[in-house]
């Protein structure tokens, strides 16, 4: 009852008081004028008017509550529509369109963030693409799982096999070699261009892969059939992803990189590079069993893909 009356407006209270007064008036002819037909007619008329007003009041209250619910639904719908057309909102990107969106983002980027697995697309496209920027230093911030931790590579390989059972790259040794190739490639490309690489080694992995820049991020997973999510600067989610990227670095190991690297001598350059990596990062590489054959070092060199480009502008 209290909840019902709490919905009354001033008009409702006036109408309600009028109804009570009219009902009270119906009692007068009952006590003083019941002996005449006219008295009963007056009582019936007053009761009818009171009933009509009461019905109108109750209908108004019910209609107003329905209007409130409808207005709330309209506001929710407006919010959803605004989000759908807002350039700063989070958008779902169809799986088949992800590569196109990434290429578009990379083409207009002056810096790049990446967190993910074996970093193949970074070696094949991102590094050559960023190397074409010649008018300013290009900050390249990367978080990858540590290739110097075999157990971590094993766990990541298990995850990839579950996501992509037919993926030949879901092998711990292959993953480790591709990550080593990426680290090597990053420094080779930095030696040729204005790329400034910042590589951080993660001690855990996430199913989410993050690509993007200060203007936009794209989040994907290992399964190529799954859609991605894109968000742009100005949206709270984009800002939170930037914050989360920095926070995650606090639980990881920054990799100290050599000032430069060459690929002119092939396998010999790769071996020399990782000897220097070990010297600069003793704690990070203390458990690394560097027991590759020359053939395997050759695969790491091939995975790096730097020999396919003779200059910073080539892709």
* C-beta separation of 66 from 42 below 8 A: no
Segments making up each domain of the chain, as ranges: 2-85, 91-308
Q: Listing from the earlier edge strand, what are the strands of the sheet with 228-232?
A: 91-93, 228-232, 216-220, 209-212, 112-116, 138-145, 195-202, 253-254
Q: What is the pLDDT of residue 267?
A: 95
**Pairing, β 253-254 against β 228-232:** unpaired
Residue closest to 277 by CA, chosen among 88, 92, 146, 109 = 146
Q: In Å, how far from its chain's centre is CA 122?
A: 20
Residue closest to 146 by CA, chosen among 284, 5, 292, 2 = 284
* C-beta separation of 185 from 304 below 8 A: yes
DSSP 24-68: HHHHHHHHHSTTSHHHHHHHHHHHHHHHHHHHHHHHHHHHHHHHH
Q: What is the pLDDT of residue 313?
A: 36
Q: In Å, how far from its chain's centre is CA 218?
A: 7
Q: What is the pLDDT of residue 14?
A: 64
Q: Determine the CATH number of domain 91-308.
A: 3.30.870.10
Look up the pTM and report it. 0.71
Could you list the mean pLDDT of each consecutive 10-residue stretch along the chain, which spans 315 residues?
Answer: 59 65 60 57 66 64 66 63 58 93 91 92 94 93 96 92 82 95 97 96 92 94 91 89 89 95 93 96 92 94 81 35
Q: What is the pLDDT of residue 315?
A: 29
Q: Which residues contact 276 (CB under 8 A, 6 or more apart)?
A: 258
Q: What is the pLDDT of residue 54?
A: 63
Q: What is the pLDDT of residue 193?
A: 95
Q: What is the pLDDT of residue 312?
A: 39
């Amino acid at each position: 009852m209290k909840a019902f009356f709490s919905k009354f407006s001033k008009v409702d209270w006036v109408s309600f008081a009028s109804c009570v007064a009219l009902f009270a008036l119906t009692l007068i002819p009952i006590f003083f004028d019941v002996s005449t037909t006219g008295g009963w007619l007056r009582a019936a008329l007053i009761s009818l008017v009171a009933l009509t007003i009461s019905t109108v009041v109750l209908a108004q209250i019910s209609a107003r509550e329905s209007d409130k619910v409808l207005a709330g639904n309209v506001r929710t719908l407006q919010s959803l529509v605004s989000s759908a057309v807002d350039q700063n909102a989070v958008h779902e990107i169809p799986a088949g369109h992800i590569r196109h969106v990434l290429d578009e983002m990379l083409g207009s980027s002056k810096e790049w963030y990446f967190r993910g697995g074996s970093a193949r697309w970074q070696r094949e496209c991102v590094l050559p693409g960023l190397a074409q920027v010649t008018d300013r230093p290009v900050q390249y911030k990367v978080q990858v799982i540590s290739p110097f931790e075999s157990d971590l590579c094993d766990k990541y390989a298990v995850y990839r096999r579950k996501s992509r059972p037919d993926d030949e790259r879901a092998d711990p040794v292959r993953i480790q070699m591709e990550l080593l190739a990426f680290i090597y490639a990053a420094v080779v490309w930095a030696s040729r261009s204005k790329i400034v690489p910042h590589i951080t080694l993660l001690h855990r992995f996430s199913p989410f892969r993050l690509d993007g820049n200060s203007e936009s991020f794209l989040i994907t997973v290992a399964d190529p059939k799954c859609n991605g999510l894109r968000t742009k600067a100005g949206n709270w989610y984009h800002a939170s992803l930037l914050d989360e990227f920095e926070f995650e670095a606090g639980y990881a190991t920054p990799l100290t990189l050599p000032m430069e690297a060459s690929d002119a001598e092939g396998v010999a350059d790769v071996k020399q590079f990782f000897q220097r990596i070990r010297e600069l990062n003793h704690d990070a590489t203390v458990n690394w069993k560097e027991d590759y054959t020359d053939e395997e070092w050759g695969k790491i060199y091939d995975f790096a893909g730097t020999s396919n480009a003779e200059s910073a502008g080539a892709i």
